[in-house]
Structure 1
Amino acid sequence: MVSQYKLKEPEGVHKRVRREGFAVFDYYHLYSQFLDLVLPQIRQGKITYVADLAKGLESAPAALVDLLKEKLGFDEAFNYKEEGGELEATLKRYFPQGIGIYFDNVGGKTLDAVLVNMRDHGRIAACGMISQYNVGVEELEGVKTLMQVVLKRITLKGFNVNDYIHLYEDYLDFVLPYIRQGKIVYMQDIAHGHLDAAPSLLIGLFSGRNLGKQLLHLSD
């Protein structure tokens, strides 16, 4: 199904295309088999990471913090890997009045630390738990501070964008002017290569090698 959405500027027509195709989450239940298949290929050098991927980001975490604050417009940012495991204290330092709204994509110990630092009647949208996706059953982390939901009367609700697809045109009306004005900034990490680079790029998503939305450019 193809529909047209007219922009307020003379760029022409923005087309929204909805089509059946490949989505990695349709095959997420096969992820362990995927690793069994692809990891030996990576170790043997048959699949390699694109050389310019992340452009040194792994060795320059301070650069990422600066990027978040200076380019993407965050008021504050910090590198959790440099906090010595004291995430709860770090959040208290950055949010002395507590956290009012938290959008969770991490889960695990991060969610534990956030719950302790939430304000009374705070709200949490749980969109993902990436810290738990790639570990064995024995390594899964339970949330140990869940009592904070009761003590602080916190609202914790699951979020899935598919519940709001019917609002897509309203979303475009809202967000496109902010993008044009530079008030909302997005980033893309574009790798150039062949389709056989896709598995290593996918694994890179889970190790933080990408900077922005990961794309693979196959041809012009």
Structure 2
Amino acid sequence: MNDTIEILRENLGRALWETCTMVGIATLVGVVFGTALAILLFLTQHRLFTPNRIVNEAVGFVVNAIRSMPFLILLVVLIPLIQLIIGDPYTPTGGAIALSIAAIPFFARVAESAFQEVDDGLLEAAISTGAPVRQIIVGAVFPQALPGLIRGIVLTIVSLLGYSAMVGTIGAGGIGDLAIQYGYNRYETGVLVAVVLLLVAVVQLIQWVGDRIALKATH
């Protein structure tokens, strides 16, 4: 028990910071680039804009190809690329890059679904006014899709927290690394229990906050 407390006291703060950094960077990158991909997929698929089957299917294929790979396999595949970019893939920065690449297609599909739920009647009314596509996206699509986007961001963060634990299997830091190095390799069951309880509490908090924000954003 004393060993568990000592391990947590010395390492938990650093591990939490590394996890928050990785997940925060990946969420930001995933939301920005995933939203851009979602807009492209939405515009090239929707009958009211500029349908382009070739572009839509090509982008959709790449998105689905990355999404179809289990994250642990994707992580291993990305190690040479990450090593080329930053030199050492076995760091929180390397973990953030891997998580970002996983987050982009994940959020792209979530955001695309949110955009597709926007009422066609509203879009037709906006188009009939002669508004440009950019103005329609910003003034009509985003406000109506906002609750779904917020829930999608929450879902992305929760998923990335789970993925970040897998990053620990290659020694890239975070609470997953703490659980593997001390809880599993050194048979400190108390560390594993503490990490699991902490993850459950964090996920519950994120979900609760996200649901409240999405509820307020619902029109």
Give TM-score, length-normalised by structure 2. 0.21
Higher strand share: 1
Higher helix share: 2
**Greater relative contact order: 1 or 2 (C-alpha under 8 angstroms, separation 6 or more)?**
2
